[in-house]
Structure 1
């Protein structure tokens, strides 16, 4: 047997990224926001996406979940190109936590979770198990379980929004600026258990975040975006030099 062919056969296949975009371009009202973006989120990694305000980070997440149409380019989920739509992405194990939380202010936390379980068509037994799982992960939810979301602090609302997303046991989690309105310690308390369950389940997380110190502590890799294009890829350790980090913003 030809040795080159034999070696090729023995080389393990590289797994497809959990989620990827290729040549992505997008605009708002005729103004280009993303300019040919390529990005790959590996299976089982936490990828932190940083950049200045208006760089296009939130737009990218909205496109990935099907909330904004790209002009051109391709979205690939586990090796399969598709046109994202929120219902399809949720069905395929993708959860999205938007900037600004998006909770229903007139509903209690319990009602918000019950509604999420109903929309996922989960039975009572399975639903109870999912709620118990999230409450174990984020036990502080119990303190305001029967309060209306509109009465909660920003940090509490953020916890509700993330807990609701975790109810679906997603394989891929898209988090847009989860630290907004949170003190650093609260952000640590929120992200540490998420990192733990991510490692236990092999979940992939794309984290858009400005609080880089806390975000890097739970991330495997970092990419930076500037004015709609990717300008950097590396590890959190590569950016320990603050001067180097500041060049990305």
Structure 2
């Protein structure tokens, strides 16, 4: 197996003629947790959307575990083991948690005989979901909705998990309780994780490497410890 989960070369993308990503190249190693930070509007979410097939790049190529996707679509990328937890959670407020999970399993074509096992796997990682699995998502707190969004992605048993700003709206302690078991999946399942996050303290604590993005380009790559100096970090922003 290749040493890389994702290899993206020369990606460019934008909206309505406005370029957001400019010749971006990124490598996510197998079993690596890579943290991507940058100011608002730097292009981080656009990059994740491109990597998951939600937005087609105007230039560039991608390989997932050494394979080139047949099509640049979420179905094709998902088939190669990529899952996305979007910014803003994106749960259906009128559906119960069980219904959201059922819809995700159906969408991923998981056989009925295997669905209970998949749900139990998610509940082992995020056990608090058991407390509200019969409630409608719209009645849940922000932290609970984030658990549901992450759990929905984990149902597909992804090899690569893309997390877009999971701490938004969460207290620091709640985010810590959420990110630690997700990071542990790197060891238990060999998962690779690309984490877009502004809570740098907690994100750096679980990450192997950091990328800083500014205006659609990477301006720094290194170990989290290289940015322990707050002044240095602010200079990059």
Instruction: Give the corresponding residue for 1:38.
Output: 25
Match of 1:59 in 2: 46
Consecutive unaligned residues of structure 1, counting only runs of 5 or more, are 1-13
1:140 pairs, out of 128, 132, 146, with 128
Which residue of structure 1 aligns with residue 113 of structure 2?
125
Shift of 1:122: 2.1
Q: Report matched runs for 1:222-237 at 5 Å.
A: 222-237=210-225
TM normalised by structure 2 equals 0.96
Q: Is the 8 A contact 1:103 1:149 kept in 2?
A: yes
Tell whether 2:138 aligns with 1:150.
yes
Contact persistence 1:48–1:206 (CA under 8 A): yes
Which of structures 1 and 2 has the bigger CA Rg? 1
Residues 75 and 84 of structure 1 are in contact (CA less than 8 Å); yes or no, is this contact kept in structure 2? no
Aligned-partner Cα distance in 1 for 2:75–2:212: 29
Q: Tell me which residue corresponds to 1:204.
A: 192
2:177 to 172, 179, 189: 189
Aligned residue for 1:40, secondary structure, equals strand
Contact map agreement 1:192 1:218 (CA 8 A) in 2: yes
Task: Report the CA distance between 1:120 and its aligned residue.
Answer: 2.0
1:16: how far off? 4.1
1:96-107 maps to which residues of 2 (within 5 A)? Answer: 96-107=84-95
Corresponding residue number in structure 2 for 1:164? 152
Write the deviation string for residues 216-245 of structure 1: whole angstroms up to 9, x where unpaired: 111110001100011000011111111111
1:243 aligns with 2:219: no
In structure 2, the partner of 1:180 is 168
- Secondary structure, in 3 states, of the residue corresponding to 1:247? helix
CA distance in 1, matches of 2:23, 2:221: 16
Deviations 1:38-77 (A, max 9, x none): 1100011000000000000000000011111111111121
Using the size of structure 1 for normalisation, the TM-score is: 0.92
1:28 aligned to 2:28? no
Q: Runs of at least 4 residues of structure 1 off by over 4 A? A: none
